[in-house]
Amino acid sequence: MVDAITVQTFGGPTALFEYGGLRLLTDPTFDQPRTYVSPSGVTLTKLAPPAAPPAELGHVDVVLLSHDEPADNLDDSGRALLAEVPLTLTTVSGAGRLGGTARGLAPWESVQVGAVTITAVPARHGPEGCEPITGEVTGFVLTGEGLPSVYVSGDNAALELVEQIAARFGPIDTALLFAGAVRTGLFDGALLTLDSGQAAEAARILGARQVVVVHFDSWAHFTEGRDDLVKAFTDAGLADRVQLDRHGV
């Protein structure tokens, strides 16, 4: 596969990859199975342990945090890890809550970290108008001279936003897509993240050469899993581009 990067996944939305001399971690969730209550009042139940504990990660240069409030994107172990990481990039409101080394980026705002340009891109965690309940969310696009482009979707449910990102940055070399068809009962059961078919469609829109899907296992409110994703990507003719299995360090 041309321009493929190695991505290690740990369950839920958590993945580690090296890019442009940096080691980057997405939405750290390393707690053991337990139950939480989200800020919206929804109960979230974690069903499986991480593929590896934080102590086995090694050095992390940057955390790419799509949002900080629900435990299925940042749990207690993940919050403890942030104190050891030189830079956490997240939403503007999230950086205000987290403090420390967290830096907030508005949509389409960029920061240079070494040889890597990291741009925050729009995401929406549910249907139009969901933000007062589900909160502010961001995705990221990584670029650099001579480097493949990488898109990290975060908890995005809006394909129209994927189209905007593709228009600016496409085709994308590696797409790290958060899927799982999350439904919690909010908004009459509307999707809060991409379902499997939408994840495959997002990969097509982006022209992605490599697709790594996360955020589809380990939690009870993820309503579609590996088999649904295999079928969707196979039906879309993209099965040869996708990574679904967990690979810890």
In the chain, where the domains are located: 7-243
Report whether 5 contacts 243 (CB < 8 A).
Answer: no
Query: Which DSSP category does 31 fall into?
Result: P
Give Cβ neighbours of residue 41 (< 8 Å, ≥ 6 apart). none
C-alpha to C-alpha distance for 100 and 13, rounded to whole angstroms = 22
Say what the pTM is: 0.95
Instruction: In whole angstroms, give the CA distance from residue 165 to residue 70.
Output: 25
Coil/strand/helix, residue 244: coil
Q: 150 has which bridge partners?
A: 142, 174
Which residues of the chain have a pLDDT value below 50? 1-2
7-243 — its CATH code? 3.60.15.10
pLDDT tens for each residue of 10-48: 999 999 999 999 999 999 999 999 999 988 788 999 999
Tokens 């409030």: give the residue.
Answer: 69
Give the 3-state secondary structure of residue 157.
coil
Please name which of 216, 203, 75, 215 lies closest in space to residue 151, comparing C-alpha atoms.
Answer: 203
pLDDT computed for residue 128 by the predictor: 84
